Amino acid sequence: MSADTDQNAMPMMAPPPLTSFGDGLRVAIIGASGGIGAALADDLAASPCVKTAFRLSRSAPAGPTEPGCDLHLDLENEASIAEAAAAIRAAAGSLDLVLVATGLLHDGGGLQPEKTFRALSGEAMERAFRINTIGPALVAKHFLPLLSKDRKAVFAALSARVGSISDNRLGGWHAYRASKAALNMMIRTLSIELARQKPKALCVGLHPGTVDTDLSKPFQARVAKDKLFSPAHSARCLLTVLDGLGPEENGGVFAWDGGRVPG
C-alpha cells in the first residue's frame, strides 16, 4: 500500500486530463513552494495538455524547474505581483489557468486561531487579511487581464469552508474565518466583472479539505484518518473539480469533492 493510500484511506487518483480546457495550456501557480501549490504545479507540469507551467513564489518553488518559468512573487508586495504578470505576458501572452495556492492560519508566533473574541488582535487580523484576502485580490488585479478570451480560462484561489458565513456554527478562528469570507466575496465580485469582459472565463474559490501541510499540522489530532489528505490527493481532486466547472459556476466556491460551499 502506498503512503498516499495509507494516509487518505482511498486509492491514489491519477492526474485529471483537463479535457474541458483543451490543449496547449499556459498555467500559473502562485504559492508553488507550499504543500498544495507544489502538488498542483507538479501535476500541471506533467499534464500532456499543459504547454507551459509558471511557478511563482516568494521563496524558491519546490519540484522540477524549467528555465524562465520560476518567478518571484510576494503577496505582500504589489510591485512584485505586477512584475511577475508582466514577465508572463512577455513570455506567454496569455494564461488559461491561474491558481492562487496560498493561505495563512498561524505563523507560530503572534498569529494563532482565536478561541475567543478576547484573543482578538488588530495586528494579527491585519496580517491574516493581507495574506488571505488582499494578496489574492491584487493577484487578480494583475492576472485577470492575462486570461484567454477565446477559450475556457479559470482564475481560482484556495479558500476554506470555515469562510462560509451560513455554515459557521462553532465560532472561533475569527481572523481566519473573516479573511476567507472576505476572499469569497472578492471572488464573487470579481466574477461578475470578469463575465462581462470574458464570457468563457471563470473566477472561483476552492476548498482543498484538511491537507497534511504546515498550515493544518497543529490541528490534525481530531481529524479522522480518511479526512486528512496528502497534498497530492487534494491537488488532483481540485484539478478534477476545475475540469468539470462551466460558466454557470462562475463566482462560486467549491470543495475538493465538487460540492458547492455555501456563502
Residue 40: which CATH number? Answer: 3.40.50.720
Helix (H) / strand (E) element for 98: namely strand 97-100
Average pLDDT over residues 116-120: 94
- Report yes or no on 199 lying in a domain: yes
Question: Could you tell me if residue 160 is inside a domain?
Answer: yes
Is residue 16 domain-resident? yes
Whether 152 has a pLDDT exceeding 90, the answer reads yes
Q: What is the pLDDT of residues 8-28, one digit of tens each?
A: 445 566 777 799 999 999 999
pLDDT tens across 229-256, in order? 899 999 999 999 999 999 999 999 999 9
Residue 261 falls inside a structural domain: no
Q: Quote the mean pLDDT of the chain.
A: 88
Q: How far is CA 100 from the centre of its chain?
A: 4
Higher pLDDT, 93 or 2: 93
Residue 143 lies in a domain: yes
CA 163 vs. chain centroid, Å, equals 14
Domain that holds residue 156: 3-255
Residue 207 lies in a domain: yes
What is the H or E stretch that residue 178 is in? helix 174-197
Would residue 26 count as lying in a domain?
yes
Total domains, the chain: 1
d(CA 190, CA 202): 9
